[in-house]
Structure 1
Amino acid sequence: MRHSLAALGIIATLVIAACGGAATPGGSASPAANEKVSLTIMVGGLNKQIYLPNMLTEKLGYFKDQNLDVTLIDEPSGKDSTTALLASEVEAASGSYDHTIDVAGLGKNLVEVVQLLRAPGEAEMVATSKANDIKSAADFKGRKLGVTSIGSGTHGLTQYLAVKNNLAVTDFTPIAVGAGDTFIAAIKQGTIDAGMTTEPTISRLIKSGDAKVLIDLRTPEGTKAALGGDYPFISIYMRSDWVGSHKPAVQRLVNAYVKTLKWIQTHSAEEIAAQLPADYYAGDKDLYLTALKGSLPMFSPDGKMPAGAPDFILKVLQTYNKNVQGKTIDLNKTTTNEFVDNAK
């Protein structure tokens, strides 16, 4: 059942308060180590394979094992999740790690506590009818390019691909088209010439013949080839003040996610998919499985932030993002391995 964000925010606050925790973000009180804690996590697209660890953790019962009552809210993109987190409407967000650096440039403090992906898990798809004209990011000029939402991780990556190929971010028109059916419709109807999306949308477009892969960011190797370095993407991040005052709860949350990531490493795509809601398959389970098998390398094996990755991501953002250009960003405040290192 889908709940309204406002109602969930009230419920989460009341439950945390009832458990002896802080009723407001950054409060000094925190639930005791083993008391039940209720958390709301906003996810930028639960049925996308890049966000798979969120629902899988719930289905495997790992949140409950940590005595956590977690509500997953489904929203179109990680940008929406970040906005809700900054507004203290949720306790955590699942989106691309680069959002923490982006808001740091605005004086906001968010910290990544567990890294779910080692690569974006995305691909730039070009409409088959445009494939002869758009052969690389150097051909983005004058084009309408689809992104999940303006300001999303896909928007940022698209901007960097343009800049990396000696174009300005104003040389193309970004169009928010979401993912899944809405992205596919945008390709078919000619609303966009190309666009960045994730699985299983990528495989659906390939199967229908409506689009082709132009730039592949679904694996760490493909990402390094296209971007020039490691770009760990989807993570769980929280408000820094909340993390500081609720460390036992954060540790239990990270415990659950790390256990899921390790479970993924030892199970097949078929076993993983069997744990997920059937509607995630978009009516084609075989296609979903094929896509998942190819994407398994993107999942982090341990939840840790790869060494050097934040520095590379900051350099990427500095090429186009006005929020960070000319700013001094303390990357140590945007990510921590503290909880992953102590996960059990």
Structure 2
Amino acid sequence: MIKIKHALSVLSVLIVVTALAACGSAEATGNAEVTELRYQGSAGFVTFPELAQELGYLPGVKLTWVGDTTSGPQDIQSAATGQTDFGGAFNGAIIKLKAAKSPIKAVIGYYGSDEKSFSGYYVTENSPIRTARDLIGKKIGVNTLGAHHEAVIKEYLKREGLTPEEIKQVELVVVPPVNTEQAVRQGQVEVGTLGGILKDKALERGGLRPLFTDVGLFGPFTAGSVVLREDFIAKNPTTVKTFVAGFAKAVEWTQTHSKEEVVAKFKEIIAKRGRNEDAAAVQYWKSSGVAGKGGVIADREFQTWIDWLQREGEIQPGQVKLADLFTNEFNPHANGSA
């Protein structure tokens, strides 16, 4: 579930474009609340809203799939500009979008890392790289820049004592996830970022070992959240409450049911929606990775990345505040009423 791409290449445009978002679905129906939510999916995978809809957790709310997202930042940009009604991304990408004055707010966590589902940073078994200092002058393959993996890598390097100048000498190279394993084995990069099914298949073939993992660095944590536009929240409070509550119940369902039950339900949903997809990847599903029960967002899941972005000079101290970034108001698990 970890999917993110060049978060800020169009942010200068977003400030203008989001001002035009008033022509989106929220105003199209006058005073009546919007009950049909447009969203982007992911080929061969089932999102929590899709699971919630299948389980009957979204009474009175209809989901309309408009296509598949290419990345987390693209997904939340689409929501911010009114092309869709909700989208999800790495929390650091949300912070950067918010710092650019985009009127979005996170309402629920949707992916993360735990002992079953995590991202690792792998080298070949015979690699001389054993420590962070060994990475100076080396290349690390990541799926995109300015997102989850870059943040984790730089936090690892900092914690291991590298100076800012030394960290700059560690080169991050964009490699499509499907090509990462091959790039490491052929020496095109010294370290590769692997997660999910790609990690599992690579480890099955042997010959790789982890240098470090994100869960080893941070412990279990929710890494990404789903956002809505602030004007959408204000104009559609009942719909938002139903949507987030149903989303939370779907997260909890995966947290309290066996892998076999979850995989079976995912395969059923993929077959039923008829998008000509390969459902083979879902059999590798292990856990939601979401740390908070029902996707409740913890302060540290945003504060960690605020601190990192300030240290990197990408945002200024005080430029964004936790209260402006997310709310657990609509999540029934936040007050124990679920």
Using structure 2 for the length normalisation, give the TM-score: 0.75
Over the matched positions of the two proteins, sequence identity in percent amounts to: 19
Displacement, 1:260? 0.5
**Which residue is equivalent to 2:39?**
41
CA 1:312 to 1:58, structure 2 compared with 1: closer, same or farther past 3 Å? Answer: same
State the secondary structure of the residue aligned to 1:62. coil
* Structure 2 residue 295 is the aligned partner of structure 1 residue 303: yes
**Which residue is equivalent to 1:172?**
170
**Gap regions ≥5 residues in structure 2:** 1-21, 271-277
Aligned match of 1:154 in 144, 149, 168?
149
Q: Deviations over 1:211-245 (max 9, x none)?
A: 32222234xxx3xxx14x77421221122222222
Separation in 2 of the partners of 1:305 and 1:341? 12
* Equivalent residue letter for 1:157: V
Separation in 1 of the partners of 2:136 and 2:69? 30
**Which residue is equivalent to 1:68?**
62
State the secondary structure of the residue aligned to 1:261. helix
**Which residue is equivalent to 1:10?**
none
* Structure 2 residue 114 is the aligned partner of structure 1 residue 124: no
Counting only pairs closer than 5 Å after superposition, residues 134-213 of structure 1 correspond to structure 2 as 134-165=129-160, 166-168=162-164, 169-179=167-177, 181-213=178-210
Displacement, 1:112? 0.7
* Equivalent residue letter for 2:258: S
Separation in 2 of the partners of 1:145 and 1:163? 16
Separation in 2 of the partners of 1:192 and 1:119? 24
Separation in 2 of the partners of 1:67 and 1:326? 39
Separation in 2 of the partners of 1:267 and 1:230? 19
CA 1:300 to 1:178, structure 2 compared with 1: closer, same or farther past 3 Å? Answer: farther
**Gap regions ≥5 residues in structure 1:** 1-21
* Structure 2 residue 297 is the aligned partner of structure 1 residue 324: no
**Which residue is equivalent to 1:3?**
none
Displacement, 1:256? 1.7
| C-alpha RMSD of the superposition | 3.2
**Which residue is equivalent to 2:100?**
106
Separation in 1 of the partners of 2:66 and 2:259? 23
CA 1:276 to 1:153, structure 2 compared with 1: closer, same or farther past 3 Å? Answer: same
CA 1:72 to 1:188, structure 2 compared with 1: closer, same or farther past 3 Å? Answer: farther
Separation in 1 of the partners of 2:223 and 2:134? 25
State the secondary structure of the residue aligned to 1:174. strand
CA 1:86 to 1:176, structure 2 compared with 1: closer, same or farther past 3 Å? Answer: farther
* Structure 2 residue 240 is the aligned partner of structure 1 residue 250: yes
* Structure 2 residue 96 is the aligned partner of structure 1 residue 93: no
State the secondary structure of the residue aligned to 2:38. strand
**Which residue is equivalent to 2:17?**
none
CA 1:175 to 1:74, structure 2 compared with 1: closer, same or farther past 3 Å? Answer: farther
State the secondary structure of the residue aligned to 1:339. coil
State the secondary structure of the residue aligned to 1:192. coil
Displacement, 1:113? 0.6
8 Å contact from structure 2 (residues 24, 83) kept in 1 = no
State the secondary structure of the residue aligned to 1:274. helix
